[in-house]
Structure formats: structure tokens, C-alpha cells
Chain A
Amino acid sequence: MPANRFNGFTDYGIGIGLRSPHYQHILTRKPVVDWFEIISENFMIDGGRPMHILDQILDQYRVVQHGVSMYFGSADRIDREHLKRLKDLVQRTNTPWLSDHLCWGSVDGRYTHDLLPMPYTFEAAAKTAQKIRDVRDYLEVPIAVENVSSYAEFHVSEMTEWEFLNEVVERADCGILLDVNNIYVSSQNHSFNPFDYVNSVPPERVAQIHIAGHSKYEKYILDTHDHPVIDPVWKLYDCAIQRVGHTATLLEWDDSIPSFREVHNEALKANRFLAKSVLARAV
């Protein structure tokens, strides 16, 4: 499903996250990159160097916005100041779609700045879907929600994580940013088969895919985005691409960031799976 209404009918290839250690390289060498993903919150400011850099990037590259603090799943009301600033940025970047996480992170106006897991209940699904609809109507841009890595599950949950994801996106009629690394991390932390998850996702709703590295500890895995992608995650990615088709793919590398070339080369490894899927569909 390369182009669909959840990614603005675009046909983007492999992108990487725009991160400050790479600004100089990108602006001076102008490497060929299909698209960059920006963290919206880093540019929801009034001015200065970040906005200057962003404008230069926008002049030369395609940019998609990815947020980390909309907290669709928070019982709190939407922060109007947040939305206003986000809309300013959407108008500036002309992002074809906008993604944020299927999680919560604030309550009573207090922010944890974390991506906290949802209780998988029908009440939470209904409230989250309504919030996604409200945000989409205000921003006037397609929304894709991303599955998060989690380290805890709740007694009150009434369904699996993938059933919850499907419940939310159906109710909200929104897209999915499928993070295959997050699926892998959660599958290890909660002992489920990650392929069950990938195979349950409605392919027609997948707007984008995330890949990343993580850190393994004795009793759990942490989603740290500070390593290359491991083979089991590439296998999940392969499965997702076979199911969904050639889809905009983004490598996240947020900590211990290596050179631009190393990050880009890691992302481009996705090409072998994308090419295979194109070939399979052509036959």
C-alpha cells in the first residue's frame, strides 16, 4: 500500500530522523536522502537557529513530522497551546502526514515526558480515538498513530495490544505508523509472538514504518534507539513489507548517534526488503 489516504497519497522511500549532530553534514554536503523525519516538538518554538536550520532543510528535502507529546491516550484534555504551535509547524513544513504515539504521558496537566503504555480497554480506545479525530480535524492533515515499546501491562486490559491498536484506528479512521522494533521489544517483554502482531495489522492503514535498535538487559529490553537494527527486527520488517507493500520507512537513531553516513547506510539496508516486495508484486 505505498500511497494511501493516511500518508497523503505519497510514495516516500527510506528516510532518516533529522538530528542536530548531522545538521552541518546535511547542509554542506547535501546528501541524497529521500526524506527526513523531524521531531515536531524540537521546532515548536518562536525562532532562532532551529527554525533557521529547518527552513534550509525544507528548501531542499521532503520532511515529515513526528511528535512525542500529543499523548492521544491521556485522559487529559488536549493542550490548546500545543495544538496551535503544532498547526503553525504543519503549515510551515507542509508535512503530508503527521504521526505521534498511541500512548499517554500526562495527567492533570503534569507531564512525565515518557511514552507510557495504554490500558487496553474499550473505554481507553473510545477516548483515544475521539482525541485523534479532534486533532486531525484541527490540524487538517492525515494522522498516523505509532505503537510504542512497553515494559508493563495492566490488570484492567480487555484485549491484546494489537486488538487495541485496531480498535483505535478503526474508531478514529486514522493511519498506523508501524514500529517493528517496538513490536519486537514489547514481544520480548510480554512474551508474545511478534508475527501475530504484524499479521493482525490492517495493511491498508499503514502509512509508515519505523525501524530502530534497542538495548537488551538481563530481564527486559529497552527501546533506546542507540544501536543498529538487529536481524530479528529486520525479519519482522520483511514480514511487514510483504504484507503491506512498499511503504515509507524511517530509521530512528537518537542516542550515541554515529556519523550521518553510518546512520544513512543502516537505513538503506531496508532497500533489499523493499526491492523484494516490488519484485514479488510485479510477478
Chain B
Amino acid sequence: MNLLTLQRTMAKAVMNPLTPSEHMSSRAPNGEPMANHAAKFIKPNDRLTSFERLEIYNRQYWWRLMSSLAEDFPGLQAVLGNRRFESLCKAYLVAYPSRSFTLRNLGRDLEPWLRKNPQWAGAKQAIALDMVRLEWADIEAFDGAAFEPLKPPDIAKSAGANLRLSLQPYVHLLKLNYPVDSLVLEIKKFNNDTEFLSNAFRERRKRKRVSAVARLKPKTIFLAVHRVAYSVYFRRMSAEEYGLLVSLQKGKTLEQAFDATYSKHSKTFAADLEQVTAWFQNWSHLGWFSAPSQKPARIQKCQKRRSAKK
């Protein structure tokens, strides 16, 4: 057995789903008994069979990846409950094994996968999808690139109908059908607070969280997931504010963005002028705008370090 064949054989076995009791399946992916399959390439020793040795890696694989998804999507777990969440994660990992060197990217295909496979969330599909989108945006906002922000005077200087403004890559705009942001904030607070709490109190808090999910009624919200001073924040906004930002993010000019936004709403741009001015001030104070075609700040910093050492 050459290197590639051995690695393909072992990887298939390692990534084969565990049984409900979290043991290695008795059948190999090719249908033969797993004990025979494992014995073909793994030596037994005086304490463990080939099957048992392979099972150590099989279990480690599933436990590592499942806990990574649970860490990244605690809101989805709260929405679906533990059992359903686990089934969904297993099905997702079978369909989308990790294709990245980092576990950070493990959930990047979860939203499109769930959209195509609604049976895993059942009646909670809509709220589950909203939650996945928000939690993925949270991850992206946490460590997304940051360009040198445009300062308010820079924007004022070049303001005009044809001005195009780039939004920072770490700013994510979401239109959601459920106010899941409040639930995520509650979960984050719960996770931060519970380190020193008793089990009984933790259980009470958990029950409260579950009932909070049940109470969540559909309501369209517009959200910016962004960061300030290296912490991620969720900022709710009006439909008009969201519309303007989405247009700018798509690369439209100011004029096109205003047209696109206000043609859809009952308010007129003229009537909203004061409000729009306040939004622009706020966005630029938050550092959300950058000049187009910049390199990320991390690259600039590397270059600075290198030139300083010369």
C-alpha cells in the first residue's frame, strides 16, 4: 500500500460517522466489516485490536470537529436543542468535510448547506438560518481585515454624487427575519457569567434561554455586525440606513445608493436629509469607510516592520 492509498483509506475510516453511542461503526465505508478493514493496514498490539486503535482516531476526529462547531454556533445549538444540533452538525460534516487548514473556517458552508437541507432544522428552519448567518458574520467580523479608515474630513472633501465608498471588510450587513441578535447576546453574557456559578443556577439560566428561544417571534431586523476596539458589536438599523450601506457595499456611487434606497421607501431623500447626514457622520466615526484598493492593515504593518529593520 503506497502513501496516498494508505492515507485515503485511513482518512475515510477516520471521517466515517460514529454510532449513536459514539463508537466506531462496525462497517467500513466500503461495506466490509470495519474490524477486517482496520486489520488490513493497522497493526494490533498486546492491548488493543486494529479496530480499537483506529477507533481512537475516529472518535477524536468527530469530537474535535463537533466541539468546534458547538463553540462557533452556540446560538444555533440553543435554537435546535443539543440532540438536533448534533445530528445537523454530523450531516453537515459528512456533506462538507473541512477543506481548510484551520478550524476557523469549518462553518463557512453551513448556511448554504442548511438552505438546501431544511429537514435538519425542521420547523425552526427560518430562525436557524438567521442564527447561522449571524454567528458566521460574528466570526468574520472578529478577525476580518481592516483597511486604513477614511476620516470624516476626507469624506467631506471628496463628497459628491459620483463618490464611491468602500465598506471595511469586517462590517457585515444582515437582514434577518427573527431578532436573533438578542438571543446571541444573552448566550454570550451567559457564557461569560457562568464560569463561577453553581450547576443549579446554570441550569435555571439554561431553561430561561430555552424559553427565550420559544418566545422569539418573527420580526424583520436590519443589523450591522462590526467591531470597535477589537470587540464585535451588533448594531440594529432602519431599513433605509441598511439599504444605503448595502448599496455602497456593492460599489454604487452615492447618487445611485440614494436612488436605490429611497425608490423603495415611502420617505423621500430630501425629508430624510438630516438623518442621512447623521448616519454618515456616525459611520465615518466608526471607521466603516475606507478608500478603495487598499491592502489590509496587517500587510502594511508587516511592511513597516521590515523597513524598520533594514
Residues of A within 8 A of B (CB): 41, 44-52, 55, 69, 74-75, 79, 81-82, 88, 91-92, 94, 104, 106-114, 116, 119, 121, 123-124, 127, 151-156, 189-191, 219-220, 222
Known: A88-B299, A113-B65, A155-B42. A119 touches B101 (CB 8 A): no
A112 touches B6 (CB 8 A): no
**Which residues of chain B are within 8 angstroms of A219 by Cβ–Cβ distance?**
47-48, 52
Bound complex: CA A206 to CA B141 (Å): 41
Q: Is there an interface contact between A111 and B101, defined as CB atoms closer than 8 Å?
A: yes
9 A-B contacts, Cβ less than 8 Å apart? A46-B145, A47-B143, A48-B170, A49-B142, A82-B101, A109-B99, A113-B61, A152-B42, A153-B42
The complex places the Cα of A151 from the Cα of B101 at a distance, in Å, of 23
The prevalent SS among residues of A at the interface is mixed
Report if A49-B231 is in contact (Cβ < 8 Å); known contacts: A104-B7, A112-B15, A153-B43. yes
Among the listed B41, B97, B227, which residue makes an inter-chain contact with A110, where contact means beta carbons less than 8 Å apart? B97
The dominant DSSP class at the B interface is helix
Q: With contacts defined as CB atoms under 8 Å apart, how many contacts are there between chain A and chain B in the complex?
A: 144
Count, chain B residues at interface, CB 8 A: 57
Contact of B3 among A108, A113, A124 (CB under 8 A): A124
**Given A110-B15, A151-B57, A152-B54, A48 and B6 touching (CB < 8 A)?**
no
Residue numbers in A under 8 Å from B99 (CB-CB)? 109-111
Minimum CB–CB distance from A149 to chain B (whole Å) comes to 11
Give CA–CA (A113, B50) in the complex, Å.
Answer: 22
The residues in B between 273 and 310 inclusive whose CB is less than 8 angstroms from any CB of A are 296-299, 301-302, 305-306, 309
CB neighbours of A124 from chain B (8 A): 3
Contact between chains at B302 and A92 (CB < 8 Å): yes
- Taking CB atoms, residues of chain A closer than 8 Å to B159 are none
Tell me the bound Cα distance from A219 to B144 in angstroms: 44
Q: Report the bound CA distance from A88 to B230 in whole Å.
A: 21
**Whole-angstrom CA separation of A127 from B6 in the bound complex:** 14
**Nearest CB of chain A from residue B241's CB, rounded to whole Å:** 24
Assess the A116–B299 pair: CB atoms within 8 A.
no
- In the complex formed, the residue of A with least CB distance to B97 is A110
Given A107-B11, A151-B56, A154-B42: A91 touches B100 (CB 8 Å cut-off): no
Kindly identify, within residues 96 to 138 of chain B, every residue whose CB is under 8 Å from any CB belonging to chain A: 97-104
Q: Given A69-B102, A153-B42, A156-B41, 8 more contacts at CB 8 Å?
A: A46-B145, A46-B146, A47-B143, A88-B298, A106-B11, A110-B15, A111-B100, A152-B54
Which residues of chain A have C-beta atoms less than 8 A from B83's C-beta? Answer: none
Residues of A within 8 A of B219 (CB): none
| B101 engages A220 (CB within 8 Å) | no
Residue of A50, A106, A116, A151 with most chain B CB atoms under a 10 A cut-off: A151
> Does B53 belong to the interface (CB within 8 Å)?
yes
